[in-house]
Chains A and B, each alone.
Chain A
Amino acid sequence: MSDAVGVILSKKQKFERTPDRRNHDFHEELFALEAAGELIVQRVSDDFVSVPTKYGLQKKIQRGHLWHHKSCGQCGHIPGYSTSIFWIMRKLGYDYDDPRDQTSCTAWNYYASATSNQAAQAAVALRNFAAAYETGYFPLIHCGTSYGHYKEVRSELLHQPELRAQVRKVLAKLNKEMVIPEEIVHYSEWLYAMKDEIASRSILDLSKIGVTVHPACHYYKLVEGDAIYDPDVYHGQRTAAVSGLVLSLGADLRSYSTFFDCCGFGFRHILVQRDFTRSFATLRKIEVMKEEADPDVVLTHDTGCVTALDKSQFATQAHERNVGIPVMSEAQFAALAMGAHPFKVCQLHWHSTNYRPLLEKMGIDWEAAWAEFQEDLKKLERGDQKYLTWADVGV
């Protein structure tokens, strides 16, 4: 090995943050505005885990007593995603609130169709934050886009007095106070913070399960300083969300060259120009993963990414492309590892790409599990019970 190559490799093995790249800590403005009486900061409770972010600042992740800001896409089309997040939290014994007093972030109308505006989006965010504050539970954001968008909104509110005045007037009409949480936390950050606790409850040997991770653009590209980066995961050079949990679970985390690429979701495109989404998702992500890492599963941490990567593979198979990797959230994967039912909890029958070989490799008898689920459905059809309950899934 030449000296030059040795220098490069040693840099990669020992990551050191460069202080001058460290971004500004938004908390200074946040607490200054609170001191000036302009807003209320909802504090993280004393029961938190401290995690490292991109430029070295620590972020507090509250363990329990969380207010689940749900994702419309997860609840609507991938319901095993949100169910798995709740299931893990129940399994670990943390209390939470699953509110009806919650709208989505409505960012579809912002990023897809531009049929909303800055003030409306800020008002929606603050209405939801105020609703959480009123319950005493701390917000936990399920959707990557909501998480990224709310950080954009926070930044705008902190720096634009005119926007604060505009939104304050709207909130007054709703009899709501202006509240911004101390931290805006994504569920994948909670899973990262809880990764050792989750791993200690794993009942499966995942060492033979090859995993590739797709990081969500709106998680780590929008207001990027908040995202989790861990010197022990990818030497701190890629976000550690998802991947950190995969490593703790003992699965075989594999790399690929288009890690930083988007999934191709595109908001507008996934609905009205899916040829673009399908092309990007399969040619730039799935095929590259398959050729370079040959994983058993793709894990990601956002609604749109699961949808784009999973649903794009069916039609692409007709073109005899090299696709066919199941896709799910790391929440579903972790829940499976902890013994969650693949259909009653993880709801994998809502997914498109064949997940059965993965379950077999994980040691899960999917045929028996499907038969159990069918029995439960019969109970619902007969009217023995109206809904499947948490008691039916052991938590």
Chain B
Amino acid sequence: MAQVTFDPYLKLEHLAGHADVTRAEKERLISKVMADRRFPDYLYGCYECGICVAVCPSARFYDFSPRRIAQAAARVDVDLMFQQMEEDIWECSQCFSCLRCPRGNNPGGIITIMREVAVEEGRRSAKTALEGYSRIIYKIMSTGTQVSPDMLQPDAFPDWGPEVKDVSENLSLWRRALPPETHHTTSTGWDVAESTILELYVIWLETGALEMIKEVDTGIHMILEEIMEERLEEEGIEI
């Protein structure tokens, strides 16, 4: 006779993979996800209707399902949630089409939290997903804008057509041919005031956002920390 406490819907441990990670460690990570202030607003139980899958762009091209994310979280299936953290969450497009859920769930939001935990903990999945992403993190945190004109290089975007080469070759001149006074920049989207950038540094340091990237990208963390502390010290701003 089966044990009455056995839940047949939970991921069987021997099928969950990641045997190198202890159950206690998985529980520690998943409890961090569930303890997040946003989590209660993102999950109300799953009807398993599949509407979120039907509208999900990532589900069409990856082995990915927002329904599985909501189901696993609703059942507190630690093994499955950990497996998703390591294998699935970076496929999500973060478009939030899944908010069409009739139950009011937000699988995309659950993924946002799972990703943050994966980054903060320096999980391998996060490091792999963010390979080639250092420049963007650096740009946002150091300048307050992320999509800069000088990112448009033909070797980085060969699939975007010959216009990228035109932009790259004429960048400085074409930026001067923009009427808005704030747009004459090439390394930032617009001209951000120096005092504004310093205020942003205070935010990154005070909220622990800079500390979040320490495990996942040590090099960028060191560079940014040095820049921020140096600039704030010059201005006499204490953290």
Taking Cβ atoms with an 8 Å cutoff, the residues of A that contact B are: 70-77, 79, 82-83, 86-87, 98-104, 106, 108-120, 123-124, 127, 131, 148, 156, 159-160, 162-163, 166, 169-170, 173-174, 217-218, 221-222, 224, 260-262, 264-269, 271-272, 274, 276, 278-280, 284, 303, 311, 314-315, 344-345, 347, 349-353, 373, 376-377, 380-381, 386-390, 392-393
Contacts and interface: CB of A to CB of B under 8 A. Distances in A.
A268 B207 CA distance: 23
Given A102-B192, A115-B137, A373 B112 contact: no
Contact of A260 (B55, B161, B208): B55
Contacts of A124: 200, 203
5 contacts: A76-B149, A114-B116, A280-B61, A284-B57, A390-B179
Interface stretch (B13-21, B24-32, B95-103): B95-103
B9 interface: no
A315 B157 CA distance: 11
B83 interface: no
Nearest to B135: A271
A274 B136 CA distance: 16
B10 to A, nearest CB: 26
Contacts of B161: 311, 314-315, 352-353
Contacts of B212: 115-117
Contact of A103 (B137, B144, B163, B179): B144
Contacts of B157: 311
B235 interface: no
Contacts of B126: 114
Contact of B207 (A170, A311, A351): A170
Which of A156, A218, A264 counts the most B-chain CB atoms under 10 A from its CB?
A264
A286 B151 CA distance: 26
Contacts of A113: 115, 119, 129-130, 133, 136-137
Contacts of B90: 268
A117 B208 contact: yes
Given A98-B180, A221-B100, A276-B62, A104 B159 contact: no
A300 to B, nearest CB: 13
Contacts of B144: 103-104, 106
Contacts of B136: 108, 112-113, 271
Contacts, number: 263
Given A103-B192, A349-B166, A87 B147 contact: no
Nearest to A162: B37
A345 B118 CA distance: 44
A216 to B, nearest CB: 9
B160 A314 contact: yes
Interface residues of B, number: 82
A123 B93 contact: no
Nearest to A314: B161
Nearest to A223: B99
B183 A106 contact: no
Given A83-B180, A276-B62, A387-B184, A221 B97 contact: yes
Given A163-B37, A170-B207, A222-B99, A104 B146 contact: yes
Contacts of A131: 196
Nearest to B170: A377
A347 B146 contact: no
B3 interface: no
Contacts of A173: 202, 206
A72 B150 CA distance: 12
Contact of A77 (B57, B112, B152, B180): B152
Contacts of A269: 93
B120 to A, nearest CB: 8
A169 to B, nearest CB: 7
Contacts of A387: 176-179, 181, 184
Contacts of A160: 37
A210 B181 CA distance: 34
Contact of A116 (B57, B151, B209): B209
Contacts of B149: 76-77, 79
B204 A76 contact: no
B61 A276 contact: yes
Nearest to A166: B207
Given A72-B189, A265-B95, A393 B179 contact: yes
Contacts of A217: 95-97
A311 B128 CA distance: 25
Which of A115, A117, A261 counts the most B-chain CB atoms under 10 A from its CB?
A115
Contacts of A284: 57, 60
Given A114-B112, A352-B160, A388 B61 contact: no
B131 interface: yes
Interface in B182-197: 182-184, 188-193, 195-197
Given A83-B183, A98-B182, A376 B96 contact: no
A130 B61 CA distance: 42
A279 to B, nearest CB: 6
Which of A76, A104, A127, A276 counts the most B-chain CB atoms under 10 A from its CB?
A76
B236 interface: no
Contacts of B190: 70, 72, 75, 100, 102
Given A123-B207, A169-B206, A267-B93, A118 B38 contact: yes
A279 B197 CA distance: 37
Given A75-B183, A111-B112, A353-B161, 11 more contacts: A77-B151, A100-B192, A108-B140, A113-B129, A114-B126, A266-B95, A268-B129, A271-B133, A315-B161, A350-B167, A387-B177
Contacts of A276: 58, 61-62
A389 B184 CA distance: 11
Given A76-B145, A108-B136, A117 B94 contact: no
